[in-house]
Structure 1
Amino acid sequence: MNTLWKRTALLLSAALCLTLFSGGCSDSDDSQNPDLRQIKIGMTVYRQDDTFISTLSGYFLETAKARESRDKVKISVNVMDGKGNQGIQNDQVDKFLSQGYDVICVNEVDRTAASVIIDKAKSANIPIVFFNREPVEEDMQRWDRAYYVGAIASESGVLQGRIVSNLFNQNPELVDRNGDGKIQYVMLEGEPGHQDAAIRTEYSIKTVTGAGISVEKLANDTANWQRAQASAKMGQWLKDEEIGPRIEVVFSNNDDMALGAIDAYRAAGIEDLPVIVGIDATPPAREAIKEGTLTGTVLNDAKGQAEAIFELAYALSTGRDVKEAVPRLEGQYVWLPHRTITIGNVMQEFDD
């Protein structure tokens, strides 16, 4: 287990303490001073067992702890798991509202359900910061104290496509195994209805064909962002004589599903892997790049997003200017850029 993964696990364990102990994040004597201002931040995520989301929430807790120590304030962070159920998540938001939290951060189970959450938050005059799952624009326009932090999905698809097209142009024999001049591929997609899944799927392939490379889709299916589901689906394809032996590239909408594809190859006893690409640059994915099983991924900046979410939440809680706190803020949106991660730069980009 690498250093970042250990730190993230420890921070997520600490979240339980933060939900039960309102004294905040700091271990210093200053945090026990009753005269200090206490800031209460509620966070609800669609699934805590999602690797990217757990990494992001770990960074959020780390940032809150550092700011508490620096500014000598109490910051109580309550992270709750929506467990993939919008009803459960709505109840969690209601709890934060009834208990008078200063700000609520929401990674929606269902991005189309934002209007209900925004209207409730507006009635209570408690600002809300959505992240990772973008509400539809019409819902965001319902209130000017609703914000969104994320990354542009099309950019991640483009960069994923470039990993494959660049490799094809530089070393065609590594990609085009049968030498027919085109790429036979399968696509592992995120959950239906999620904007990132549809956009990443579209733009990854569009980028490859835009580079003048012919493609042939052998199969595609949803695996709901989950490693186990992707492994099961990939295992079925590998058993299909019309699909398995012909796969040259596995496109995956996120890293967990890409790792699931690798798991399926290992379970099938196949050591000679095709090109496999993911998105997110999670710690396990970076390890897979180093060991040579994952060809590449696209950094969906969990640390940068966590810091932006916190800075927005902190500014909103303390009455500070949000634009000054988060210079990237454009109206109600904060967009973080993506970066390509391959064996050529993974060591330089991360000190895992």
Structure 2
Amino acid sequence: MKKKFFGRVLSVLILTTMVVSMLTACGGKSDGGSEDASSSDSQTLTLIMSQRDEWLSEMEEAAIKEAKDLGIKLTTVDAQLDTSKMLQFIETARNDGQKAIIINMVDPETAVQCVEAAGDMFVVFVNRYPADDSVLNEKVVYVGSDENTSGKFQGEWLAEHFKEEGKTEIKYILLNGILGQTSTTLRTASVLKALEDSGIKASEATAPLACEYAREMAQDTIAPLLKTTKYDCVISNNDGMALGAIEAMTAEGIDATTIPIVGIDATTDGRQAVKDGTLSMTVFQNAKGQGRGALIAAQNLIAGKAINDGSDYEVDESGNILWIPFEPVTKENVAEYDNR
């Protein structure tokens, strides 16, 4: 009797266990499981950095912080100025099933290759404008700042400065970034145009110095020229190279506060130099804005929305470029940019 009773109980327990297991298994393949996978895919992005200099590192940090706020799982990788690595990172993201990729290109001439490597993914180019902008369309967009305005702000400040000194003709030393990059070309052209438009005849004190946006390279390159060349100012395509020039002057016993030196980016060190008076002015390139803008654009592309949806950023008439404005920074307003 007891054996029969316990046998029935055991049979019920086994049956119950089997039913629960079956229900659980069905639940694991339910729509809820599919939604989780879909949500994970749409919220997973990769940001490919061309390198990690001071300004780009600020942009990367801002993007990481913004990703947390937006609920995006963001991976950042450094191509270390190697185009082949950059393309490999793009292909890895595509093979992982990601829906969009954010690319800070090593070389803007490779935009077409980047788009081809991305396949069906949406592409957001950030900070470095494609050399061939015909790649931009409803699936491939650009987030950055209009480089024509960066040099314009430098030129306008220099023109005002020299006019106050009664000068209409000047000689300049130009510190170039990476030759061939859109940012280098446009920053250089726009500062010289702004000087000309303001009635200043500006000529080269030396041939432009290609310093690849690197502080130490600028310091080493300009040092031999400081006491052997006649010049009225130093124009730099970024803050890092301007700071290198300041350090070279200090090493040569030259007071950098007596010579107009202008930069671009308004980095942490650049802003401090403006406060100290060694850097005459810089131009704020919004690292946080570009990092945030790139993420918003990617998220909106995936959702089928306008790339500036949910932000106050402007787009161009095509709708494929999201502009983050440049702003001039001088000793009078530099404190306003410490927390931006």
Range of TM-score over shorter length: 0.7 to 0.9
**1:54 CA drift (Å):** 0.7
Task: Tell me the alpha carbon deviations over residues 239-292 of structure 1, each in whole angstroms, 9 at most, x when there is no partner.
Answer: 5x2x1xx22200001111111111111222222541100011111100110111
CA-atom RMSD in angstroms: 2.0
User: Which residue of the other structure, out of 113, 131, 135, is the alignment partner of 1:136?
Assistant: 131
Q: Which region of structure 1 is more displaced relative to structure 2, 263-272 or 106-115? A: 263-272
- Would you identify which runs of 4 or more consecutive aligned residues in structure 1 move more than 4 Å? 318-321
Percent identity of equivalent pairs: 28
**Where do 1:112-127 residues align within 5 Å?**
112-121=109-118, 123=119, 125-127=120-122
Q: 1:91 to 1:250 in 2, by over 3 A?
A: same
- In structure 2, relative to structure 1, the CA distance for the partners of 1:321 and 1:134 (3 Å cut) is closer
Match of 2:98 in 1: 101
Map 1:1-352 → 2, pairs under 5 A: 37-38=39-40, 39-48=43-52, 50-68=53-71, 75-121=72-118, 123=119, 125-141=120-136, 143-170=137-164, 172=165, 182-219=169-206, 220-239=208-227, 241=228, 243=229, 246-273=230-257, 274-326=259-311, 328-330=314-316, 331-351=319-339
321-330 or 298-307, larger mean C-alpha shift: 321-330
Tell me the SS of whatever aligns to 2:309. Answer: helix
Size of the alignment, in residue pairs?
Answer: 298
Contact 1:115/1:139 (CA < 8 Å) preserved in 2? no
- 3-state DSSP of counterpart to 2:247: helix
Using a 3 Å threshold, how does the CA distance of structure 1 residues 351 and 144 change in structure 2: closer, same or farther? Answer: closer
For residues 89-141 of structure 1, give each alpha carbon's deviation from its aligned partner in whole angstroms, at most 9, with x where no partner exists. 111111111111231100101111111111232x3x21110011111345424
Structure 2 residues not aligned, in runs of 5+: 1-35
Deviations 1:266-319 (A, max 9, x none): 222222541100011111100110111100011112122122111112223445
The amino acid across from 2:329 in the alignment is I
Q: Which has the larger radius of gyration?
A: 2
**How far did residue 320 of structure 1 move?**
4.7
User: Do the aligned residues in 1 keep the contact of 2:145 with 2:326 (CA within 8 Å)?
Assistant: yes
Gapped regions of structure 1 (runs ≥ 5): 1-33, 69-74
Query: Letter of the aligned partner of 1:100 in structure 2?
Result: G
Query: Counterpart of 1:169 in structure 2: which amino acid?
Result: K
| 1:327-352 superposed Cα distances (whole Å, 9 cap, x missing partner) | 52332111121111000111133348
Which stretch of structure 1 is more off in the superposition, 272-281 or 254-263? 272-281
The 10-residue stretch of structure 1 (259-268 or 315-324) with the greater mean CA deviation from structure 2:
315-324
Residue number in structure 2 paired with 1:7: none
Structure 2: how far apart are the matches of 1:140 and 1:307?
22
Q: TM-score, normalised by structure 1?
A: 0.79
